[in-house]
Amino acid sequence: MESEVLFLNILNNLKGKDFLTLADFSTEEILALLDLAIELKAGKGPQKPLAGKTLGMIFQKSSTRTRVSFEVGMLQLGGHPLFLSNNDIQLGRGETIYDTAKVLSRYVDAIMIRAHGHEQVEELAKHADIPVINGLTDTYHPCQALADLQTILEHKGRLKGLKVAYIGDGNNVAHSLMIGCAKVGIDVAIATPAGYEPDAKIVERAKLIAQAHGSSVVVTNDPVEAAKNADVLYTDVWASMGQEAEQEKRVKDFAGYQIDSQLCSHAKPDFIFLHCLPAHRGEEVSAEVIDGPNSVIFDEAENRLHAQKAIMVACLS
C-alpha cells in the first residue's frame, strides 16, 4: 500500500510537466512511467482517463510509429488527437512559435511536436500554457528511449546492472538512449565511426548521470569493444531523415559497423536486439539478426504506444 501511494504521488507530480528529454526526469519518475506503461498495456488502471482531452500533434517531419501510436493512444485513453502537419498550420508559413504556443494553449490540452531543431521545441514549451511532448527532434528522441527501457524491462526482468551496446550513428536515438540508460543504472556503450560520435556535451551529461547511479557510459570507435558481454544490441539507420544526400558516403564510412552474427557473437548468448525502425536490412543490420530469435523489434515498436500513453496520462490526468 505504501509503495502504491508513493507511485501515485510521483505520477501526480508529473501533471502539467513537459516531456522534452529524459534528463529532466528523476529515476523514480522514469520508473513510475514504466510501471504505468506496463499497467496500461495489461489493460489495468482507469478506463478512458483522458475523456474530453485533446492532443494537438504538430509534424514538421513525417512519421509512421510516432503518428499512429500517439493517435491510437489518445483515442484508447478517451481523448481526441488532432493532426497538424507543417503545411496545414501557420507555423509552416512564418507564424512565430510564441504565437503558435499561445493560440494552441487556448484550444487543446497538450501538444506533441515532431520537429527538426530541439530549440524550437524548447521555445514552444517555454511559451505554451499546456504540456508539450517531444515526439522527436534532431537532438533527442525521449519517447523512443522510454519504449526501449520498457522493452528491456519486459524481456530481461530488470534494468540496473545490464549493458546496452548501441552500434551506429551518434544521433538523437543514441543521445536519449544514453541518458535513459544512465538514469536507471544501465551501462551503455556507444560505438560509431570516427566523426559520427554523439554530441560531446550530451555524452558528458550522460556520464555524470551514470556516475550518480552506479553505471557507466563509454563512447568508442570499436564495435567489438562495445558489443562485448552486452545484454542488448541496438542500432539505427546510418542516414536519418534529412540526411539522404549523404547515404552513399555514410554506407562507406559505416562499413564494419553492421550488427551481424559475427558481431553478435561478442554479446551475451541471450542478448536481445533493438532497432527504433524503419530499418534497412543489409545495411546497419543483417536480415538474419533483425528477423532472428533474439530480435524484439516489434515488441519495441508496440511499446511506443504504451509508453506514450503513460506520458499522456501522467501529464494530463
* 36 close to 25: Cβ distance less than 8 angstroms: no
Q: Does 236 show up as a binding residue in the annotation?
A: yes
Q: Does 281 show up as a binding residue in the annotation?
A: no
Q: Does 85 show up as a binding residue in the annotation?
A: no
Beta bridge partners of residue 89, listed in sequence order: none
Reported as type and span, the H/E element at residue 67 is helix 65-76
Question: CB 44: neighbour CB atoms within 10 A?
Answer: 9
Contacts of 75 (CB under 8 A, 6+ apart): 81
183, HSE (Cβ side, Cα atoms, 13 Å): 23
d(CA 72, CA 304): 11
- Residue 278: cis peptide before it, omega within 30 degrees of 0: yes
Q: Does 276 show up as a binding residue in the annotation?
A: yes
Q: Does 261 show up as a binding residue in the annotation?
A: no
Contacts of 68 (CB under 8 A, 6+ apart): none
- Residue by residue, what is the 3-state secondary structure of 144-201? HHHHHHHHHHHHHCCCCCCEEEEECCCCHHHHHHHHHHHHCCCEEEEECCCCCCCCHH
Q: Does 143 show up as a binding residue in the annotation?
A: yes
Task: State which amino acid sits at residue 252.
Answer: K
Q: Does 105 show up as a binding residue in the annotation?
A: no
Q: Does 114 show up as a binding residue in the annotation?
A: yes
Catalytic site residues?
Answer: 114, 141, 144, 236, 276, 304
Q: Does 240 show up as a binding residue in the annotation?
A: yes
Q: Does 144 show up as a binding residue in the annotation?
A: yes
Rg (CA), the chain: 19
Q: Does 250 show up as a binding residue in the annotation?
A: no
Q: Does 241 show up as a binding residue in the annotation?
A: yes
Task: Give me 132's grid cell.
Answer: 508539450
Q: Does 63 show up as a binding residue in the annotation?
A: yes
Binding-site annotation, residues for carbamoyl phosphate: 63-66, 90, 114, 141-144, 276-277, 304
Binding-site annotation, residues: 63-66, 90, 114, 141-144, 172, 236, 240-241, 276-277, 304
Binding-site annotation, residues for L-ornithine: 172, 236, 240-241
